Amino acid sequence: MRPVFGSGMALTAVAATMAYGMTPGVARAQVADPLAMTTDPADRAVMAEAASAIAGRSPDIARLDAVLAKLPRPTPLRGMVQTVRAGVLASAQATGPAVAAIEEALRLLPDDPRPKLVATGIYTFSGSPQRAADLLLQASRLAPEMTRHFDRYVVMALTGRLTEIGDRSRADRLNARLGEIGFSSGLAPERSTAALSRTREAMRMSPGAATDEAVNLVTTIGDPDDLLTLYIDRRYAPLWPRIAEWAGADLAAQSRRYLDELRGDWAAAADFDTATPYARRLSRLEAYPAVLGLFLPMFDAIDTGAAVPVEARAAGAPRGEGVFLAPIVARALAHQGRYDEARALLARVATTVPADDQGNGLNLDGAYLQLAAMETDWPQVLTRADVFLDRAKRYGSNVNRASVLLVKAWQACALARTGQSAAAEPVTAEVLLDEALVPGAAMQMYVCRGDQAAARALVIRRLADETTRDWALRYVQPTGSATTTPLDRLTDPVDDAVRTAPDVVAAATRVGRILPNPVSVGLPQGFDPFRLQPRTTPLDANAV
């Protein structure tokens, strides 16, 4: 289970003010300045007040409203004020007024990328990911340098939501474009995702044949799991020989290179952002001692007990430090049988979540639920599911749908496991209603309940659907996972029976292939995760 829980609206106010006040010089040169465009004498009289109102990292909505009242005409200056107002309103969960403000700004500043960037955040977290993607694509063409500095979290949330609603094509176009302008150069997972999207786009342009561009792009895909997406799907069969040549038939060579890339990012930056994908990959390979040895000590240094406001967070203060890394480390502890320590870690990190950004606490609520499920503690699963769903309700569409459905899948299983079949029925129906968009939640529910027949039927349906085929083909691949938890002992036999069922195998081989052996099992030969770590002291003067 790899959900992403949380809210991103709190970032929107910061993004709006930074768009006008703190844009890098090169990026600013790509767009016109609304202040310079202000020629109306009445607007010029208000210009200094407007500039002061939008300055700083946490503009006051009352000041912005007062300035707006003095700008009744449709001018660029009013558009600038409305852009910042929209961000502030969005961060206050006033979605309707935020949308009204940003729509006006988009009309008043049609060639300015900054309203489009702010609108991207608003629409991503208010249930309109397709409009958000289109606006981000427009901004990338108007001002690629400015867009290259856009918030990673919003982009990840946006592409995730596009995938949830089945719009993989738009997600690929967006990722491919962001890769072109260099947005994805920050972290290895984004670099790989962009390369995978460009490869799929190239293949769509020439169905059934490997274009030279697609073949060349194979070498730019870093994550072996992204390569696996192509390597088992007959739609990309023309690329299979090049993938095997480059990554090895079992993708082991690419696994080693990707770990080197992730480790290099972390060793250079020594922060939670770079630690998280590296820890996630090590966990994927079940290298739990390495996860704990490298990343558990990082939590010794985090500040606890302080509610950090959003404006201080933008200046570099902690932003719920480790809220995405902690669940990975907690699960590693659980796989080692250290459940109490896992829960204590989550409790410690919870004290760092800012008071104005409790949506990110959903990541920790989900992690608590996962620990309870790993222990097959069904009453505790129900308690944790209630906590999560109650908090998620407060944030509405800010919380991605897949995360909510995964929690409901656990809830449905726990209700059934505790003999509450009637109560499980409506929850089960809700999970199944979105089966075509989030098949993993339905499969999790079926396997947890031991319903092999329903699970087999689900996989066969998803194999027939091009939108969910990549998920289904991944599911049927052999695994080498160790059985370490009570949940593993409950569900592994069900998973194995479903994967090897003759009707499932026949359906899979019609549209893809099942590899003879597991891939990404254990650390690659020769890779030592402890060899290169971030320095805690400056280099010696004689080191260079």
Q: Please name which of 144, 235, 221 lies closest in space to residue 190, comparing C-alpha atoms.
A: 221
377-398 burial: b if 16+ Cβ within 10 Å, else e: bbebbbebbebbbebbeebebb
| In contact, 94 and 65? CB cutoff 8 Å | no
Q: Please name which of 326, 325, 324, 361 lies closest in space to residue 343, comparing C-alpha atoms.
A: 326
Give me the pLDDT at residue 253, please. 92
d(CA 67, CA 65): 5
SS3 of 118-132:
HHHHHHHCCCCHHHH
- Residue 180: how many CA atoms within 13 Å on its side-chain side? 15
Q: Please name which of 161, 185, 165 lies closest in space to residue 7, comparing C-alpha atoms.
A: 161
d(CA 513, CA 277): 28
Residue 5 has pLDDT above 60, yes or no: no
CA distances from 515 to 100, 232, 248, 332, 474 (A): 52, 8, 13, 27, 10
Which pLDDT band holds residue 432 (cuts at 50, 70, 90)?
very high
Unique residue bearing structure tokens 């998620």: 392
Give me the pLDDT at residue 248, please. 92
Give me the pLDDT at residue 165, please. 86
Query: Helix, strand, coil shares of the chain as percentages rounded to 5?
Result: 70, 0, 30
247/46: higher pLDDT: 247
Average pLDDT over every residue of 400-407: 92
Give me the pLDDT at residue 237, please. 93
1/463: higher pLDDT: 463
pTM of the model: 0.84
Residue 337 has pLDDT above 60, yes or no: yes
Compute the chain's Rg from CA coordinates.
24
d(CA 481, CA 411): 25
Unique residue bearing structure tokens 């290169």: 532
Residue extents of the structural domains in the chain: 10-183, 358-521
Amino acid at site 279 = A
280/520: higher pLDDT: 280
Share of the chain above pLDDT 90, in %: 61
Residue 278 has pLDDT above 50, yes or no: yes
Q: In sequence order, which ranges of 270-420 are alpha helices (DSSP H)? A: 272-284, 288-295, 310-314, 325-335, 339-350, 361-374, 378-395, 401-417
Give me the pLDDT at residue 308, please. 43
| In contact, 423 and 385? CB cutoff 8 Å | no
| Contacts of range 229-234, beta carbons closer than 8 Å, 24 or more positions apart | 229/196, 229/470, 229/474, 230/196, 230/199, 230/200, 231/515, 232/473, 232/474, 232/477, 232/512, 232/513, 232/514, 232/515, 233/469, 233/470, 233/473, 233/511, 233/512, 234/511, 234/512, 234/513
Residue 27 has pLDDT above 60, yes or no: no
Q: Please name which of 364, 377, 371, 438 lies closest in space to residue 408, comparing C-alpha atoms.
A: 438
Which pLDDT band holds residue 295 (cuts at 50, 70, 90)?
very high
Give me the pLDDT at residue 521, please. 86
Residue 124 has pLDDT above 50, yes or no: yes
Helix (H) or strand (E) holding 320: none
Name the most confidently modeled range: 56-60, 71-75, 355-359, 490-494: 490-494
Class of domain 10-183 as given by CATH: mainly alpha
Share of the chain above pLDDT 70, in %: 86
Tell me the per-residue pLDDT of 338-349, one tens digit each, with 9 for 90 and over.
999 999 999 999
Which pLDDT band holds residue 6 (cuts at 50, 70, 90)?
very low
What is the sign of the dihedral through the CA atoms of 207, 208, 214 and 220? positive
d(CA 116, CA 102): 8
Give me the pLDDT at residue 319, please. 52
Which pLDDT band holds residue 537 (cuts at 50, 70, 90)?
low
Which pLDDT band holds residue 395 (cuts at 50, 70, 90)?
confident
Tell me the per-residue pLDDT of 81-115, one tens digit each, with 9 for 90 and over.
999 999 999 988 888 999 999 999 999 999 999 99
Residue 419 has pLDDT above 70, yes or no: yes
Average pLDDT over every residue of 144-165: 88
373/533: higher pLDDT: 373
Give me the pLDDT at residue 45, please. 86
User: How much is the mean pLDDT over the chain?
Assistant: 86
Name the most confidently modeled range: 140-154, 453-467, 473-487: 453-467
